[in-house]
């Protein structure tokens, strides 16, 4: 029994933290997030060199051959420093390839992902809504001339920087993922920032796009749900580091800010809210760690544990972001002060891969079915 | 991360399961002498006081074995391992750490044999969260202490034979060194001059009491630890944290009951559980309970690695406090007026279980440190914020 990290994992954490502190401290983040591209290519190559892009890719495909527990360490640290870049989206894309792609496709793409040469993103949902197959209704039209897609995929993470997309569609009763190359001249994409400038989004539009030459993989509903769950765990892992930074910044402020003759952290109205934040972060941290472990080691538990983690984290971090700004008073409301960056991240994280409403509902459906009521 | 059990841990689990198969009949098949038989059997196994050293009659179980024993007992909803709760949880460990050889021989076997109840005397009418300000005093007279004062909110006092209590033997009326001058005494409740007045709680139970001490004479040999150092004795027994495994199992059972209740109760002609807000709340309860379970495992891992726990255990105490208050209250709210009927009232639901539950939470939530105190502990000791 060991619900903790190994020494190697702690070393990895130190390495990630050191790299981000040295290269991507908040002043750097602010500069990068204002750029058109939204990330720094040089960092991407360095990250590739450190092996973080191939962490879950097997050694035979050019990766490091580790698993999601190792990845959590990296994601936590990226969340801590609000790393701006398409890491999480490429990771979800990578996980999907590992889960569902044929071995030719894996051999072709995975080594290049690990090397930092290509990036990818998932384009699953057809409309704003829950991460649920009910929100995938793009239908392929098969004729004698090919297989055609007409429609659009909104809110594709890091749409502007990805080189490949896995696009979900239906054909007859089945679900498929098509691997689309951004160089396809008939694939239209747009991209934009979100209120959290470190997280980019965009839209793919298909106007009778022929995908008959693209690799296409038939996927079951549980396989798609697993991708949603993995994404939820990834987001929630970033939320740990981000929320811990919010607590650290706000705690320091409460120690330094003097009102009525005392540091405001002496007053229970302030100190108790900070203690509650600690309790919540400790708790969703445990839930996320366990969910990450189930991805590789206990797949049948993933659905429940991912939802417990993402639901708890979504509610908790959203409230932490708001209260942290409020505890700072007016300074927290300024563009110049960093706490607002994390408030924005909390809202992005909540919306990404299912909010608490969705995940709590999923938990209760499973509970009813396990209790037979 | 690895959630595997070693071979010897697995063997131990099989041993516990086999024991339960052989000695724990279904609740409906238990005869009048079941409990006596059960206590005898688990005592033979040395599972009463399983964490205590073997030298004092305990089981010498390591941390993982303690966890496994608790898990298996909770999973089968087995009766407690020994009925002397306070003795096993607080008084015994204090005696093991600070007691004289004579005290160990005199008291520990009786605790393990479930002979009588102990209670612990901390709070006083003017002393609650600020425990170190206690005033109940004891003065030396020859080879005896003479106690005068009162203790209140003493759980189990109406049924207990002995009390482990804190008295002030020095530093009377001082506020600066209030932690000094406190002494721990073990007192026979049948001693002359003791009066126990049970206090009825809001749920109708009479499980706590006020105890009055009027020139109560206690032999010096019944002092636990050194004179004036009772605070250290208390702190170490409070730090003797119980793992939250049994509590988590209990909360999961309660959540199952709550889900079943809402699936079978009607509201506006529909099963209550179809309501979106109700579903969300149930989900939130489940996430909290699971977080408690996993926090417990993380802290357990720390202990196994040899890092002592500090104030982290306040995290699960706060979750538990919230869940104990909210689950019962939620059930009663969702049952509407039917939720207000207690046992034996005409339309009581589930024999008034939830109505009673919604009134009984203070036992857990206030005893052992209020939520506000737990938050102070986290804010001051973990986050480093200034003391009040």
Q: Where are the domains of chain B?
A: 7-82, 118-238, 245-382
Residue A95 lies in a domain: no
In a domain, A285, yes or no: yes
Cα B97 to Cα A232, B2, B162, B265, distances in angstroms: 48, 34, 19, 51
Assigned domain for A286 exists = yes
pTM for the full model? Answer: 0.95
Query: Are residues B151 and B123 in contact, defined by beta-carbon separation less than 8 angstroms?
Result: yes
Inter-CA distances, A56 with A66, A72, B64, B191, Å: 5, 11, 31, 70
d(CA A274, nearest CA chain B) in Å: 7
Question: Distance between CA atoms of B82 and B155, rounded to whole angstroms?
Answer: 17
Nearest CA in chain B to A356: B280
pLDDT of B367 reads: 78
Mean pLDDT, residues A96-123: 98
pLDDT for position B303: 85
Q: What is chain B's Cα-based Rg?
A: 23
Mean pLDDT, residues B233-255 taken together: 78
Q: How far is B71 from chain A (nearest CA, A)?
A: 14
* A364 within 8 A of B271, measured Cβ to Cβ: no
Rounded CA-CA distance A19/A7 in Å is 18
Q: Which residue is listed with tokens 């300074």?
A: A331
Instruction: Find chain B residues with C-beta within 8 A of A290's C-beta.
Output: 294
Is A64 found in the same domain as A48? yes
Distance of CA B225 to the CA centre of its chain: 23
R_g of chain A, CA atoms, integer Å = 21
- Would you say B242 and B303 are in contact if contact means Cβ atoms under 8 Å apart? no
Q: Looking at residue A191, which CATH number applies to its domain? A: 2.40.110.10
Residue A211 shares a structural domain with residue A238: no
Active site residue B241: yes
Residue A183 C-alpha, separation from nearest chain B C-alpha, in angstroms: 41
Q: Kindly state the average pLDDT of the residues A139-160.
A: 96
DSSP string for A221-233: HHHHHHHHHHHHH
Taking CB atoms and an 8 Å cutoff, what residues of chain A touch B292? 283
Using the structure block, give the residue that is written with the tokens 């809202």: A347
Contact A200, A155 (CB under 8 A): no
Is the domain of A213 the same as that of A247? no
Backbone angles phi, psi at B318, to 5 degrees: -70, -40
Over residues A235-266, the pLDDT tens digits come to: 999 999 999 999 999 999 999 999 999 999 99
Task: Provide the H-helix boundaries in chain A.
Answer: 7-23, 26-33, 41-50, 68-80, 87-100, 103-114, 221-256, 268-297, 302-328, 339-351, 356-371
Please answer yes or no on whether B64 and A368 come within 8 Å at the CB atom.
no
- Partners of B64 on chain A (C-beta within 8 Å) are 1
pLDDT for residue A47: 97
pLDDT digits (tens, 9 = 90+) for B47-101: 999 999 999 999 999 989 999 999 999 999 899 999 999 999 899 999 999 999 9
Tokens of B277: 């807000």
Mean pLDDT of chain A: 97
Determine the pLDDT at residue B306. Answer: 86
Interchain CB distance below 8 Å, B379 and A274: yes
In chain B, what residues touch A373 (CB-CB under 8 Å)? 259-260, 263-264, 273
For residue A315, list chain B residues with Cβ-Cβ distance below 8 A: 284
pLDDT category at B240 given cuts 50, 70, 90 is low
Same domain for A225 and A214: no
Give the three-class secondary structure for A119: coil
Hey, what are B175's tokens? 């506020």
- pLDDT score, position B246: 75
Query: Among B67, B301, B315, whose Cβ lies nearest the Cβ of A279?
Result: B315
Per cent of chain B over pLDDT 90 is: 83
Nearest to A236 by CA among A326, A349, A323: A349
Chain B hits for A294, Cβ within 8 Å: none
Q: How far is B148 from chain A (nearest CA, A)?
A: 35
Nearest neighbour of A276 by CB, restricted to B302, B375, B382: B375
**Domain around A61:** 7-88+103-117
pLDDT score recorded for residue B239: 59
Decide if pLDDT at B40 tops 60.
yes
Identify the closest residue of chain B to A258 by CA–CA distance: B386
Among B276, B295, B384, whose Cβ lies nearest the Cβ of A286?
B295
Of B324, B328, B255, B318, the C-alpha closest to B286 is B255
User: Cβ–Cβ of B300/A1 closer than 8 Å?
Assistant: yes
The per-residue pLDDT for A249 is 98
Nearest to B278, CA basis, from B266, B291, B294, B290: B266
- Cβ-nearest to A360 among B264, B280, B379: B280
Q: What's the pLDDT band for B310 if we cut at 50, 70, 90?
A: confident
A65 and A55 Cβ atoms separated by less than 8 Å: no
Are A110 and A135 contained in the same domain? no
Q: What are phi and psi of B219, to 5 degrees?
A: -60, 145
Q: Tell me the nearest-neighbour CA distance from B256 into chain A, angstroms.
A: 8
> What pLDDT does residue A204 have?
98
Return the pLDDT at B304: 87
SS3 at position A343: helix
Per-residue confidence band for B238, with pLDDT thresholds at 50, 70 and 90? low
Is residue B192 predicted with pLDDT exceeding 60? Answer: yes
Q: Concatenate the DSSP letters of all residues of B273-290 into one string.
A: GGSHHHHHHHHHHHHHHH
Query: Are B260 and A371 an interchain contact pair (Cβ–Cβ within 8 Å)?
Result: yes
Same domain (yes/no): A265, A360: yes
Q: Closest Cα partner for A73 from A22, A8, A149?
A: A8
Report, as an integer, the average pLDDT of B243-272.
91
C-alpha to C-alpha distance for B262 and B190, rounded to whole angstroms: 48
Instruction: Specify whether the CB–CB gap between A316 and A281 falls below 8 A.
Output: yes
State the CATH number of the domain containing residue A253. Answer: 1.20.140.10
Banded pLDDT at B173 (limits 50, 70, 90): confident
pLDDT at B129: 87
Rounded-to-integer distance, Cα B334 and Cα A87, Å = 45
Mean pLDDT, residues B223-249 taken together = 80
Task: Give percent above pLDDT 90 in chain A.
Answer: 98
Same domain, A226 and A270: yes
Are A150 and A126 spatial neighbours (Cβ–Cβ below 8 Å)? Answer: no
Residue A143 shares a structural domain with residue A239:
no
- What secondary structure does DSSP assign to A19-63, as a single string? HHHHH--HHHHHHHHTSSSSS-HHHHHHHHHHTGGGTTS-GGGTS
Alpha carbons within 13 angstroms on the beta-carbon side of residue B221 total 7
Residues A310/B290, Cβ–Cβ less than 8 Å: no
Q: Are residues A126 and A206 in the same domain?
A: yes
- Could you give the CA distance from residue A224 to residue A130 in angstroms, rounded to a whole number? 13
Look at residue B125 and tell me whether its pLDDT is greater than 90.
Answer: yes
Which of B251, B283, B306 should one mutate to test binding to chain A, selecting the residue with the greatest count of A CBs within 10 A? B283
- Which candidate in B36, B200, B241, B256 is catalytic? B241
d(CA A147, CA A138): 13
A317, A239 contact by CB (below 8 A): yes
Domain B118-238: CATH class, spelled out: mainly beta
Look at residue A97 and tell me if it is in a domain: no
Burial class (CB in 10 A: 0-12, 13-18, 19+), A372: exposed
Cross-chain CB nearest to B287 (options A2, A271, A308) = A308
Provide the 10 A C-beta neighbour count for residue B299.
Answer: 22
Q: What are phi and psi of A150, to 5 degrees?
A: -135, 120
- Of residues A4, A274, A373, nearest to B383 (C-beta): A274
Reported confidence tier of residue B241, pLDDT bands at 50, 70, 90? low
Region A124-141 average pLDDT: 96
How high is the pLDDT of residue A1?
A: 87
A270 and A327 Cβ atoms separated by less than 8 Å: yes
CATH architecture assignment, domain B245-382: Up-down Bundle (1.20)
Chosen domain end from A219, A244, A272: A219
| Same-domain check for residues A18 and A133 | no
Closest alpha carbon within chain B to A293? B1
The pLDDT tens digits of the residues spanning A12-48 come to 999 999 999 999 999 999 999 999 999 999 999 999 9
**Is the model's pLDDT at B242 over the cut of 70?**
no
Backbone CA torsion sign across A53, A55, A57, A58: positive
- Same domain for A350 and A257? yes
As a whole number of angstroms, the distance between CA A140 and CA A174 comes to 10
**Which residues from chain B sit within 8 angstroms of residue A357, using beta carbons?**
276, 280
Mind telling me how many Å the CA of B179 is from chain A's nearest CA?
A: 22
A367 and B302 within 8 Å at the Cβ level: the answer is: no
Predicted local confidence at residue B369, as pLDDT: 82
Say if the Cβ atoms of B286 and A363 lie within 8 Å.
yes
Which residue in B263, B292, B386 is closest to A263 by CB distance? B386
Our count of domains for chain A comes to 3
In chain B, residues with a C-beta closer than 8 Å to the C-beta of A259 are none
Mutation to test the A interface, candidates B301, B322, B379, most A Cβ within 10 Å: B379
Asked whether residue B277 carries a pLDDT value surpassing 70, the answer given is: yes
Do the Cβ atoms of B283 and A368 come within 8 Å? Answer: no
Count of other CB atoms within 10 angstroms of residue A11: 12
* Residues A342 and A248 occupy one common structural domain: yes
Please tell me the distance in Å from B302's CA to the nearest CA on chain A.
8
């Amino acid at each position: 029994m060991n619900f903790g990290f190994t020494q190697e994992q702690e070393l990895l954490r130190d390495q990630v933290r050191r790299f981000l502190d040295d290269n991507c401290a908040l002043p750097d983040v602010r500069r990068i997030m204002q750029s058109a591209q939204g990330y720094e290519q040089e960092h991407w190559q360095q990250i590739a060199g450190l092996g973080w892009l191939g962490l879950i890719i097997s050694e035979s495909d050019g990766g490091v051959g580790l698993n999601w527990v190792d990845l959590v360490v990296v994601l936590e640290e990226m969340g801590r420093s609000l790393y701006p870049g398409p890491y999480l989206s490429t990771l979800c894309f990578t996980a999907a390839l590992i889960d569902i792609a044929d071995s030719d496709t894996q051999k072709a793409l995975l080594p290049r992902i690990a090397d930092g040469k290509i990036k990818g993103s998932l384009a699953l949902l057809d409309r704003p809504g829950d991460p649920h197959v009910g929100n995938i209704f793009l239908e392929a039209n098969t004729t004698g001339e090919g297989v055609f897609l007409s429609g659009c995929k909104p809110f594709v993470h890091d749409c502007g920087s990805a080189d490949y997309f896995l696009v979900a569609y239906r054909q007859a009763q089945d679900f498929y993922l098509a691997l689309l190359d951004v160089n396809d001249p008939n694939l239209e994409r747009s991209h934009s920032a979100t209120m959290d400038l470190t997280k980019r989004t965009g839209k793919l539009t298909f106007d009778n796009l022929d995908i008959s030459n693209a690799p296409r993989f038939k996927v079951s509903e549980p396989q798609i749900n697993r991708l949603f769950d993995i994404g939820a765990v990834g987001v929630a892992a970033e939320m740990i580091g981000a929320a811990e930074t919010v607590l650290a910044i706000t705690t320091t402020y409460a120690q330094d800010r003097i009102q009525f003759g005392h540091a405001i952290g002496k007053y229970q109205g302030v100190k108790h809210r900070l203690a509650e934040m600690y309790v919540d972060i400790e708790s969703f941290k445990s839930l996320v760690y366990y969910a990450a472990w189930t991805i590789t080691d206990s797949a049948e538990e993933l659905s429940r544990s991912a939802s417990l983690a993402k639901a708890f984290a979504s509610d908790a971090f959203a409230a932490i972001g708001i209260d942290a700004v409020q505890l700072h008073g007016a300074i927290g409301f300024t563009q110049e002060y960093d706490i607002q960056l994390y408030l924005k991240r909390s809202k992005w994280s909540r919306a990404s891969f299912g909010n608490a409403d969705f995940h709590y509902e999923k938990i209760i459906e499973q509970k009813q079915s396990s209790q037979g009521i | 991360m690895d959630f595997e059990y070693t071979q010897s841990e697995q063997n131990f689990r099989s041993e516990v399961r086999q024991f339960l198969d052989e000695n724990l009949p279904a609740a409906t098949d238990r005869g009048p002498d079941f409990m006596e038989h059960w206590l005898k059997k688990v005592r033979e196994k040395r599972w009463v006081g399983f964490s205590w050293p073997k030298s004092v009659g305990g089981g010498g179980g390591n941390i993982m074995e303690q966890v496994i024993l608790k898990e298996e007992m909770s999973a089968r909803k087995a009766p407690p391992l020994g009925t002397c709760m306070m003795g096993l949880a607080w008084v015994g460990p204090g005696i093991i750490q600070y007691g004289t050889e004579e005290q160990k021989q005199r008291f520990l076997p009786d605790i393990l044999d479930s002979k009588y109840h102990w209670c612990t005397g901390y709070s006083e009418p003017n002393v609650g969260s600020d425990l170190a300000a206690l005033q109940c005093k004891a003065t030396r007279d020859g080879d005896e202490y003479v106690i005068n004062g009162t203790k209140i909110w003493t759980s189990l006092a109406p049924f207990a034979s002995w009390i482990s209590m804190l008295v002030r033997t020095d530093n009377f009326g001082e506020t600066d060194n209030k932690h000094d001058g406190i002494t721990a005494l073990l007192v026979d409740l049948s001693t002359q001059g003791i009066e126990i007045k049970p206090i009825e709680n809001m749920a109708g139970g009479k499980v706590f009491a006020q105890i009055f001490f009027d020139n109560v004479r206690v032999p010096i040999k019944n002092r636990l630890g050194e004179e004036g150092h009772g605070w250290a004795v208390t702190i170490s027994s409070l730090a003797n944290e119980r793992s939250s495994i049994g509590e988590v199992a209990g909360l999961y059972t309660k959540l199952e009951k709550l889900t079943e209740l809402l699936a079978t109760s009607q509201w506006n002609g529909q099963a209550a559980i179809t309501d979106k807000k109700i579903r969300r709340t149930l989900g939130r309860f489940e996430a909290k309970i699971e977080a408690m379970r996993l926090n417990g495992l993380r802290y357990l891992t720390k202990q196994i690695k040899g890092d002592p726990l500090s104030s982290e255990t306040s995290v699960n105490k706060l979750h538990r406090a919230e869940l104990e208050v909210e689950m019962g209250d939620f059930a009663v709210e969702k049952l509407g007026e039917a939720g207000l009927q207690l046992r034996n009232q005409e339309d009581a639901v589930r024999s008034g279980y939830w109505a009673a539950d919604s009134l009984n939470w203070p036992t857990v939530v206030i005893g052992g440190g209020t939520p506000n105190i737990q938050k102070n502990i986290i804010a001051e000791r973990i986050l480093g914020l200034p003391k009040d």
